[in-house]
Amino acid sequence: MPKPIISIVTPSYNRSVELDLLIKSICEQNFDLKMIELIISDDGSTDDTEKVVKGWAIRTEFELKYLNQKNQGPGRARNHGMEHSVGDLILFIDSDCEADSDWIKNIYDCFLKENFDACGGPDGARGDFSLLQKAIDFSMTSFLTTGGMRGHSKNMIAKFYPRTHNMGLKKKVFEKIGGFGNLRHGQDIEYSNRILSNGSKITFVPDALVYHRRRTTIRQFFKQVFNWGVARINLFHIDKNLLEPIHFLPALSLLISISVLVGCFILPNVFYPILIISSYLILIISIYGSLKYKSIFMIFYLPVIIPIQIFGYGLGFIWAFLNHSILNKRELVGFKKKYYQ
């Protein structure tokens, strides 16, 4: 088998079911599979991850490597994978994702055309995902709720930083700047910022799509977005350029919403109209999301999911800001968890 030119690295912890779907999606790529290798970097799983991966390894047209380490987090697992990669181009896709059939092809075509140092692409929901997953996907990717920060709009309000659910870089970049750091939240943004700071060229590949199976409960989703708010303050203390005006909006929205709710009891004639207008605005966005995903039932999810995303992020942001400012704490951790669970 010839030496692969593309190495795909996926960290995983106790996600054997999702890995089965991911590996299947790589097998179905419209690309010469002999040109790739897939590295599953197991972060100390206790399920049947090894059995699933090795079961696929005897059937795939590409080299499928299985690496194992003690549980140290996704950053270390990705570094472990990169250290064992042989391709000139390294791609990252998370274990809860599935690649569109043209994912590798579109990235490689863009790489040949633009010779980028690193790249990122969008994530989305497939038609067979649950209504909750689709609602979360809309809330996290729509320009109306995020300003296009995650790479789903050509008119991004904030700078685009590739995230590791769909990211690529030259092996030379890894050899130059090293691997991922030890941040618990926001590792991928810190790494993308380090790539940019070293003068590397980052390209957004809009048609390099992965399908992301997002958090499956509202409780998990709230914890996730809370941790993102915490991460933004941690990132600010690494590089002040990582905090842009748009990142204040969820916290500002939370404070305004609390003020409006309190105001409804003090000056109802003034604040009730504001509350009603805000509710209608969320309803209009929810109707748009339902039409986009062609599911009228999403209208029952989006009016809940959108505020949870905005207020959860805002709460984490405020909590971390106060801890940094008043208690002078450095890196903060939101909801503690085992990665990937």
User: Rounded to an integer, what distance in angstroms lies between the CA atom of residue 49 and that of residue 67?
Assistant: 11
Please tell me the CATH superfamily of domain 6-121+162-214, with its number.
Spore Coat Polysaccharide Biosynthesis Protein SpsA; Chain A (3.90.550.10)
DSSP per position, 198-218 = TT--EEE-TT--EEE---SSH
Both tokens of residue 312?
């959860």
pLDDT exceeds 60 at position 93: yes
Q: Where are the domains of the chain?
A: 6-121+162-214, 222-327
Q: Given this model, what pLDDT does residue 154 score?
A: 57
Residue 85 phi/psi, 5-degree rounding, is -85, 155
Of residues 29, 61, 60, 41, the one with CA closest to residue 208 = 29
User: Rounded to an integer, what distance in angstroms lies between the CA atom of residue 149 and that of residue 145?
Assistant: 10
Of residues 264, 252, 250, the one with CA closest to residue 306 = 250
Q: Given this model, what pLDDT does residue 341 score?
A: 46
CA dihedral 53, 186, 177, 44 (to 10 degrees): -30
- For the purposes of burial, counting CB atoms within 10 Å of the CB of 66, is it exposed (0-12), middle (13-18) or buried (19 or more)? middle
Sign of CA dihedral 199, 205, 210, 215: positive
> Which strand ranges, in their side-by-side order, compose the sheet holding 63-68?
63-68, 36-42, 6-12, 89-93, 166-170, 118-120, 202-204
Q: Do residues 328 and 226 make contact, with C-beta atoms less than 8 angstroms apart?
A: no
Residue type present at position 260: V
What secondary structure letter does DSSP report for 333?
-
Q: Which SS3 state, helix, strand or coil, does residue 104 take?
A: helix
Q: Given this model, what pLDDT does residue 340 score?
A: 41
Q: Which SS3 state, helix, strand or coil, does residue 14 take?
A: coil
pLDDT exceeds 50 at position 339: no
Q: Do residues 106 and 91 make contact, with C-beta atoms less than 8 angstroms apart?
A: no
- Give the position of tokens 């299985």: 66
Q: For 103-136, what is each residue's pLDDT tens digit?
A: 999 999 999 999 999 999 999 998 889 999 999 9
Q: Return the higher-pLDDT residue of 128 and 6.
A: 6
Chain mean pLDDT for the chain? 90
Q: For 157-205, what is each residue's pLDDT tens digit?
A: 667 899 999 999 999 999 999 999 888 788 999 999 999 999 999 999 9
Q: Return the higher-pLDDT residue of 76 and 336.
A: 76
Q: Do residues 117 and 195 make contact, with C-beta atoms less than 8 angstroms apart?
A: yes
Q: Do residues 39 and 7 make contact, with C-beta atoms less than 8 angstroms apart?
A: yes
Q: Among 91-95, 155-159, 335-339, where is mean pLDDT lowest?
A: 335-339
Q: For 211-242, what is each residue's pLDDT tens digit?
A: 998 777 899 999 999 999 999 999 998 899 89
User: Rounded to an integer, what distance in angstroms lies between the CA atom of residue 151 and that of residue 38?
Assistant: 25
Residue type present at position 76: R
> Which strand ranges, in their side-by-side order, compose the sheet holding 210-212?
97-99, 210-212, 123-124
Residue 267 phi/psi, 5-degree rounding, is -130, 75
Helix, strand, coil share of the chain (percent; to 5):
55, 15, 35
